[in-house]
Structure 1
Amino acid sequence: MTRPRISLNFAISADGKISSVAKRPSGWTSADDHARLLQLREGADALLVGRGTLEADRMTLKAPGDPLRCVVSRSGNFDPAHPLFHTPGGAIHLLATNGPAPAIPGTTAHRGSLADFLTTLSTLGVQRLHCEGGGELARELATLDALDEIHLTWAGHTLFGGRSAPTISGVPAEFLPASREYELVHFDPRPQTGECFLSYRRQR
C-alpha cells in the first residue's frame, strides 16, 4: 500500500485508556497539551480525524500552511452546518467507508476503504498525514500497520478507567493482527500539570 507517513496524537488517562467522544469533557487536558497539539500539526500536508471526534470537539482543523482537512465516516452522514465547512483553510476531503459519498458544496467526496483513501492522498502529494482521533480510526490505522509515529499526552490527573474502556488500539479483548514494535523517542514529564508528553517511532 502506497501511503503518506502517518503520525497520531492522543491524550490518555492515568490507566492508558481513552474516552468515548460522548463522555469526554471539554478541555480536560492542560494548555500545554493544547499547545503541543498545534505544534504537532506543523509541517503536516494533511490532517485526519473521524467524524465523531470532529463533531464532539467542533473541530475546524486549522493549521499553518493550510493542510488538507480529511474526515472519515462510515455512513458519510455529515452535518453541512458544522463549523469545518464554514471556516477558511485547506481543502476538505470527506471519506465514507460504507455509506454513500457525502455531497457537501466545497468539499471533495470519496467512497471506499481507508487504505484506498490513504493511497489517494499520496497521489495528491500528501507526504505527511497527521491524525487526531478518534479511537475507531486509530484502531483501523493500527490494524493496517500504518502508524509511523504515536504522540501521547499521559494525563495522570484524570481516570476514565474501567475494564472494558478502550485504548488507542481498541478494547482489551480485541487484539491487532500482529504485534507492533515502537521505540520511545521523546519523554517530557510536566509535574506542574500532572501530564507527560511521550512520542514513539515504529520499528520496522
Structure 2
Amino acid sequence: MTTRPYVLLSAAMSVDGYLDDASPKRLLLSNAADFDRVDEVRASCDAILIGATTIRRDNPRLLVNSEDRRAKRIAEGRSEYPLKVTVTRTGDLSSDLNFWHHGGAKLVFTIDEAVEKASATLDGLADVVSVGPELDWGLVLDELGRRGIGRLMVEGGGTVHTQFMAQDLADELHLAVAPLLVGEPTAPRFLGAADYPGGTTARMRLLEAQTIGDVVLLRYAPRERS
C-alpha cells in the first residue's frame, strides 16, 4: 500500500484573513525573519505544491534560497531543491512563467481532457500526469507517495488550502498572521466557504504559537479535532 506524504499547509495572512490585496503588486505580509523560516521549512520538504492560479497571478520561483540549506540537502543525498508541483484543471499554463525555469524538477497534475494541452505547452519543462476525468486530491497524494515524496508543503492559494482542509487531508497547518487589515472583497482569502470536518464546534489542536517580529506564527494539527 502506498504511503501518502505528510501534508503541511503554509500561509501568511492578514488579521482579517486575506492572503493578498486586490492590487497587481504582491502584498508582502511576512517579515524577513518569517521568510527565512519558510525557507527552512521548504528545505525540509520533499515537494512543494501551489495551485495554477497562484502561479499565474504571482509568478513565483518557489525556491530554497539559502545556499547552506541546499548544500545540506545535497549532503544528505537529496536533490538540491524540492520537487515543485502544481495542479490545473484547464492545462492553461504559460511556459514563460518563472516556476518552470528555476529550481529542480517540476510535476503537473491535471485531468484527462487537459493533459494534451499541458503536455504540449510544457514540453521538456515538466512531467505532466493525469489523475482521471476529475481532479482527485487523494489520487494526487497517492501518486506523490509512489514517487517517494514523504513530506509535502502546500503553499496555496486559497482554493487549494480550502480543498485540503475540507477534505481533511492536512496533517499540519502553519499560519503566519500579519498585523495588517485588507478588507477588499475581491482579494484572495486564506480559506473559503466549505463543509469542514466536524462543523463549527470542532477545535484543532494548537501545536505552537510564537512571535516572529511583528508576525505571529500559529501551528495547528487540523486532524486532531475535539
TM-score, scaled to structure 2: 0.77
Q: Does structure 2 retain, via aligned residues, the 8 Å contact 1:13–1:161? A: no
Corresponding residue for 1:110? 129
Q: Does structure 1 retain, via aligned residues, the 8 Å contact 2:21–2:27? A: no
How many Å separate the matches in 1 of 2:21 and 2:138?
24
Aligned residue pairs: how many?
198
After superposition, the Cα gap between the structure-2 partners of 1:21 and 1:49, relative to the gap in structure 1 and judged at 3 Å, is farther
Q: Does structure 1 retain, via aligned residues, the 8 Å contact 2:20–2:27? A: no
Q: Is 2:181 aligned against 1:159?
A: yes
Letter in 2 for 1:194: D
How many Å separate the matches in 2 of 1:25 and 1:13?
13
Q: Does structure 2 retain, via aligned residues, the 8 Å contact 1:135–1:167? A: yes
Q: Does structure 2 retain, via aligned residues, the 8 Å contact 1:60–1:83? A: yes
After superposition, the Cα gap between the structure-2 partners of 1:138 and 1:23, relative to the gap in structure 1 and judged at 3 Å, is farther
How many Å separate the matches in 1 of 2:29 and 2:208?
22
How many Å separate the matches in 1 of 2:91 and 2:175?
28
Give the Å deviation of 1:128: 0.4
SS of residue paired to 2:55 = helix
After superposition, the Cα gap between the structure-2 partners of 1:164 and 1:62, relative to the gap in structure 1 and judged at 3 Å, is closer
Q: 1:186 aligns with which of 188, 208, 214?
A: 208
Q: Does structure 1 retain, via aligned residues, the 8 Å contact 2:167–2:196? A: no
SS of residue paired to 1:154 = strand
Q: Any unmatched runs of 5+ in structure 2?
A: 65-69, 71-79
After superposition, the Cα gap between the structure-2 partners of 1:38 and 1:16, relative to the gap in structure 1 and judged at 3 Å, is same
Task: Identify which range, 127-136 or 89-98, moves more after superposition.
Answer: 89-98
How many Å separate the matches in 2 of 1:47 and 1:97?
20
SS of residue paired to 2:149 = coil
User: Higher Cα Rg: structure 1 or 2?
Assistant: 2
SS of residue paired to 2:4 = coil
Letter in 2 for 1:56: R
Identity of aligned residues (%): 27
Corresponding residue for 1:201? 221
Q: 1:140 aligns with which of 163, 174, 179?
A: 163
Matches within 5 A, 1:94-133: 94-97=108-111, 99-101=113-115, 102-103=118-119, 104-106=122-124, 107-112=126-131, 113-133=136-156
* Per-residue Cα deviation, 1:118-162 (whole angstroms, up to 9, x for no partner): 100000010100010000001111122111110011111x11236
Letter in 2 for 1:128: R
Q: Does structure 1 retain, via aligned residues, the 8 Å contact 2:21–2:182? A: no
Q: Does structure 2 retain, via aligned residues, the 8 Å contact 1:115–1:144? A: no
How many Å separate the matches in 1 of 2:39 and 2:183?
27
